[in-house]
Structure 1
Amino acid sequence: MTLNFVRIAYAYDRTRYHPPEVSGKIATAIVSPVEESFREPVFLELGVGTGRVGVPIVARGYRFVGVDVSPSMLEVMRHKIAGVGRKVRLIEADARELPFERGSFHAVIGVHLWHLLDDWQRALLEAFRVLAPGGFLFEGWDVAAAENEDWRIQEKWREILGEMGFELKRGRHQRRLAEVRQAMEQLGLEPVEETVAEWIEERTPRQSMEILEERLYSFTWGVPEELFRPSLDALWEWVRDTYPELDQPHPIPWRFVIRRTRLPE
């Protein structure tokens, strides 16, 4: 399918946010080691999206560059940083072909990025190319608790699609993270992972369904159009039978993980 980022940009920003205190902890975990190593550091975020990770860094006054292939995502972020974005550049560009000189940045950030790229190796090499000696690569991702109602709804959808003859493939993100780690270790680098924030999100069954309908998860993108709507209609019927109160929130425990890798000086 062809992704319509114009349609999903605001929906993504509305549903994939972090609470303010979580955003602050993520920003601190990124900027602190860089600030200790470099004077007046410059940050680059690949696939910056609507700025849920970048905006808190911008708000602290650092020089920041964000790139994304979606002008709609960048436009949402521009609205967010209006008035505080004096040291910010937002550029429509591909992470696999960055328009920057070698060694231009002291930190490169990529959050939920690698699994979106079949040729992720190019983006990884580009990240290393634009990093200064001793610079940091920060990878970040959200991890939900294994058992929650949102997951249960997704699993039911997978079952419905299976009955229609389509296998919904999940887990690509975690598999890709393992591949990237292996690639970095083969280069002699030493990635370090750390959970930097934990929180509880209250999400209703209706919101879980809306997220699927908007195709905000990458695992939804491969579902053919001819199966997408009928399968969701069947899922809606199951959800209404299973959750009489569609707007009753259920807790989802989350944590945010950062993997930090430093280049040799």
Structure 2
Amino acid sequence: MASHFSRVAFTYDRTRYHPPEVSGRIATAITAPVEKFFRDPLFLELGAGTGRIAVPIIARGYRYIALDNNPAMLEVLRQKVAGVARKARLVEADACELPFERHSLHAVIAVHFWHLLDCWQEALRESLRVLRPGGFLFEGWDQGDGESEDWRIQQKWQEILARMGYRLVRGRHQARLAEVERELLRRQLEPRTRVVAEWVEMRSPRTSLEMLSERIYSFTWAVPEEVFRPSIAELLAWASDVYSNLDAEYPVRWKFLVRTTRL
């Protein structure tokens, strides 16, 4: 999906964001435990994208490696941290074969990431390899309440696809998180999950439709183009009939969870 993200990096950055106070809470939840055990820690983020996790941590002056395999995403991030990136490195590389020495990092961060990889076992193994003893693996994800207009629009699209004979597969992210947790437990590690932030996002039907039509969500990627385009056209027509104003905003309630594993 690298070429896809090259086209939509700026849309991704604009639509997949956290409010400043939420970004601050997430940054604290990740950095505070590490600071208790290490001086001047070095953080690595896998699949850093355009930097919604990286930027607030980099801005606090931490040493930080933002890794992604897509140069367009990294270019957006590079522009955002141009004035505060003295201790930051942006690295284009494969998470399944990390270009770092064994035991060279204090923390590895993976947010909405494992489900994007076929080689997630290798990426996890690599993450644990580069962590020094006592280091931290942080996994993070957003979790919606499932009752918003945003969810209604997604469900309508799923119904349209079903009528066209295409079964949309969802839930891969949560399923992969469960797989990773089982692997961590198998390694006799102790992952612990907690909610670190809650907030309400105001979102319009137009934004929800844009996120689907630009294939921002990973569950849209496997839909063949010959099915995808007519299904989106039908969804847009439905939305124009249902919503008198596509720019009228509605609330979407979110939580951000962090699963922490210490070696």
Q: Is the structural similarity TM-score above 0.5?
A: yes
Q: What is the SS of the residue equivalent to 1:216? A: coil
Deviations 1:34-84 (A, max 9, x none): 000101110000001111001111011010011100011111111111121
Query: Which residue does the alignment assign to 1:107?
Result: 107
In structure 2, the partner of 1:218 is 218
One-letter code aligned to 2:139 = E
Please state whether the residue corresponding to 2:248 is helix, strand or coil.
coil
Aligned-residue offset at 1:206: 0.8
Q: Which 5+ residue runs of structure 2 have no aligned equivalent?
A: none
In structure 2, the CA distance between the partners of 1:2 and 1:9, relative to structure 1 (3 Å rule), is closer
- The 2-side partners of 1:146 and 1:226 are apart by 29
Q: Which residue of 1 aligns with 2:37?
A: 37
- Write out aligned runs for 1:251-262 (5 A): 251-262=251-262
2:2–2:69 contact (8 Å) kept in structure 1 = no
After superposition, the CA RMSD in angstroms is 0.9
- What amino acid sits opposite 2:64 in the alignment? F
Question: 1 CA distance for matches of 2:2 and 2:226?
Answer: 14
Cross-structure match for 2:27:
27
Q: Residue 168 of structure 2: SS of its match in structure 1?
A: coil
CA shift, 1:3, in A, is 4.1
C-alpha separation between the residues in 1 aligned to 2:257 and 2:42? 22
- The CA deviation at 1:146 is 1.6
Distance 1:2 1:158, change over 3 A: farther
Asked if residue 57 in structure 1 is aligned to residue 57 in structure 2, the reply is yes
1:112 and 1:176 map into 2 onto residues whose CA distance is 10
Report what 2:16 is aligned to: 16
- Whether 2:234 is the aligned partner of 1:234: answer yes
Q: What amino acid does structure 2 have at the position aligned with 1:117? A: L
Matches within 5 A, 1:145-160: 145-160=145-160
1:34-183 aligned at under 5 Å gives the runs 34-183=34-183
SS in 1 for 2:141: strand
1:14 counterpart SS class? helix
Q: Aligned equivalents of 2:58 and 2:235: distance in 1? A: 41
C-alpha deviation, 1:244, in angstroms: 1.3
Deviation at 1:2, TM superposition (A): 7.0
Q: Distance in 2 between matches of 1:49 and 1:137?
A: 18
Alpha-carbon shift at residue 247 of structure 1 (Å): 0.9
Q: In 1, distance between residues paired with 2:32 and 2:89?
A: 21
Return 65-74 or 3-12, whichever deviates more.
3-12
For the residue of structure 2 that corresponds to 1:178, the secondary structure is helix
- What are the ranges of 5 or more consecutive residues in structure 1 without an aligned counterpart? none
Which one-letter code corresponds to 2:4 in the other structure? Answer: N
Structure 2 SS opposite 1:107: strand
Native 8 Å contact 2:135 2:262 kept in 1: yes
- Secondary structure of 1:169's match? coil
Which amino acid letter does the alignment assign opposite residue 87 of structure 1?
K
Structure 1 vs Structure 2: percent identity of aligned residues?
63
The amino acid that maps onto 1:155 is: Q
Q: Which amino acid aligns with 1:49?
A: G
Paired with 2:153 and 2:89, the residues of 1 have a C-alpha distance of 39
TM (normalized to structure 2)? 0.98
Taking structure 1 as the reference length, the TM-score comes to 0.98
The total of aligned residue pairs comes to 263
Inter-partner Cα distance in structure 1 for 2:146 and 2:5: 29
